[in-house]
Amino acid sequence: MEHVEYQTVHSGKTPVEWAIRKGQFKEGLSAGVEVVEIQSGDFSFHVFPTRGMGVWQAKLGEKRIGWDSPVRNPVHPAFVNAKSRNGLGWLDGFNELMCRCGLSFNGPPGQDEKMASSIESDLTLHGKVANIPAHSVKFIADENGEIGVSGIVDETTLFGPQLQLTSRITMKLGEKSFTIRDQITNLGSASTELEILYHTNFGSPILEEGAKLTIPASQVVPNSPRSAEDVQEYRTYLAPTQGYTEQVYFMEPLADANGNSVALLESRSGDYGVSLEFKKEQLPCFSQWKCTQALQDGYVTGFEPGTNFPNFKSFERAQGRVIDLQPGATYDVELTLAVHPNSKEVTSVRDRIAKIQGDSTPEICPQPVSPYSSIR
C-alpha cells in the first residue's frame, strides 16, 4: 500500500511538539479515504472523516493501538455494499480501532418486522453510520491546549430516520489519550429509534496470551452456548488460536460517583494497558468480544460500550434497550481511550476499577439468559 502524503494544517511546539495533518489515500479500495492525524509528542491518533468519523488507530512511540484485520487497508464506503454477503457486507470495511455501530440500528442483519415502514425494516449488520462520510470537517486547536477534529455525519432519508451525528474527537496536548464527544440529534418531527455502540478493537501487541480485561460489573452473561463454554475465564485471553470461534460476553458495568465506568485491557505482565472510559448512563450496555483467532485472520478483542447489546434490534426493543429519541432531542456520548505504558499507570487504573467494584463481585451467568441474550 502506498504511503499517504500528509499535509500539516496546524502545528506548534509547546508544551510538546504537536501537529494536525490531513491526507488522502489514493489507491485500491482506499482511494478517496481522507485521514486526519492528531499528534502530540509521541502520541497520535488517526481519524477517518470518510468512514463516519471512525478512529483508525492510535500510536504511542512505536506501539500501535489497533488491530490487524484481514481487511488490510482502509476501505472507502463506496466499496462497502452492506447488502452483500447476506447483509454482512459491513465486514468488508471493518478494520478500525473504533467504529460506531448505528445510528438507526446495529446488531445482525434481518427484517425487523416490528417497523411499520419497509424503509426502516431492512437491517444490515451494524448499521450505516460507519460508512457515511462526514461533512463540515473542522480542525480544532484551541487556546486550552486541546487539538483534534470534528465532523458531521448525516444518516437521514425521506420517510425514515433523520439522525445526525456531530462528532468531536480531541486530545489534550501532552496527554496519551483522546476523547470522543458525540452528539446524535433527531432532526425529524417525530421520535425515532436510536442504537449506538462503540466497537473499540485491540489486537497485538497488547492483546496476547494472558492479557486481561478488568471492568467493574454486576453481571456477566455469555451471548451464546459457545460463549458459555469459557464464561469463567472471560477476563483472560488466549494466544492466537487457529480455528477459535468468537465469544461474546454481555455485562452490566458499574460506575463511580460521577457515573463513569472504565474498562482496562492489560498485557500479561501488566506493564502495558489501554483503557476505555465511558459514562454508564449514556452507554449502559458493555459487550466484550473475544476473537482470539489466528493472527492472519484478525486476532482481536472488542470493547463495545453501547446503548444496547448487539442483538437483533427487535429483541433489544423488547428488552427496552432501544432509545426513542424525541424530535429535536440530542443524545450525548463521551468516551475516552487512554494508553498506559507502564506498570504504575496500569496499576492505577486497575485500582480505580477495584474501587468502583468495591465489595461486590460480578454475577457470572453460566448460560445465556434473558434479558441479555437472544440466543438460548
Footprint on this chain of its own copies (rule: CB under 8 A): 1-2, 27-32, 69-73, 76-79, 81-88, 91-92, 94, 118-122, 124, 132-137, 152-154, 156-160, 162, 187-190, 242-243, 293-298, 327
SS3 label, residue 10: strand
C-beta closer to its own copies: residue 154 or 271: 154
Structural contact between residues 41 and 60, judged by C-beta atoms closer than 8 angstroms:
no
Closest contact distance (angstroms) between CB of 283 and its own copies is 23
Structural contact between residues 304 and 195, judged by C-beta atoms closer than 8 angstroms:
no
Q: How far is the C-alpha of 195 from the C-alpha of 321, rounded, in Å?
A: 8
- Rg of the chain's alpha carbons, rounded to an integer? 20
Closest contact distance (angstroms) between CB of 132 and its own copies is 7
User: How many other C-beta atoms are found inside a 10 Å radius of the C-beta of residue 3?
Assistant: 8
User: DSSP secondary structure string, 258-285?
Assistant: TSEEEEEEE-TTSS-EEEEEEETTT--E
User: How many other C-beta atoms are found inside a 10 Å radius of the C-beta of residue 333?
Assistant: 21
Closest contact distance (angstroms) between CB of 84 and its own copies is 6
Q: How far is the C-alpha of 96 from the C-alpha of 304, rounded, in Å?
A: 13
Structural contact between residues 68 and 298, judged by C-beta atoms closer than 8 angstroms:
yes
Closest contact distance (angstroms) between CB of 203 and its own copies is 12
C-beta closer to its own copies: residue 320 or 328: 328
C-beta closer to its own copies: residue 148 or 253: 148
Q: How far is the C-alpha of 236 from the C-alpha of 19, rounded, in Å?
A: 37
Q: How far is the C-alpha of 104 from the C-alpha of 124, rounded, in Å?
A: 11
Torsion of CA 165, 10, 60, 263, to 10 degrees: -30
As given in the structure block, the three cell numbers for residue 266 are: 492489560
> Side-chain half-sphere of 232: how many Cα atoms within 13 Å?
1
C-beta closer to its own copies: residue 40 or 150: 150
As given in the structure block, the three cell numbers for residue 133 are: 462520510
C-beta closer to its own copies: residue 97 or 153: 153
Torsion of CA 363, 107, 322, 335, to 10 degrees: 70
C-beta closer to its own copies: residue 74 or 273: 74
Closest contact distance (angstroms) between CB of 66 and its own copies is 14
Closest contact distance (angstroms) between CB of 86 and its own copies is 4
Closest contact distance (angstroms) between CB of 353 and its own copies is 30
C-beta closer to its own copies: residue 92 or 208: 92
Q: How far is the C-alpha of 306 from the C-alpha of 100, rounded, in Å?
A: 9
Q: How far is the C-alpha of 290 from the C-alpha of 12, rounded, in Å?
A: 40
Closest contact distance (angstroms) between CB of 357 and its own copies is 33
C-beta closer to its own copies: residue 46 or 199: 199
Closest contact distance (angstroms) between CB of 294 and its own copies is 3
C-beta closer to its own copies: residue 275 or 301: 301
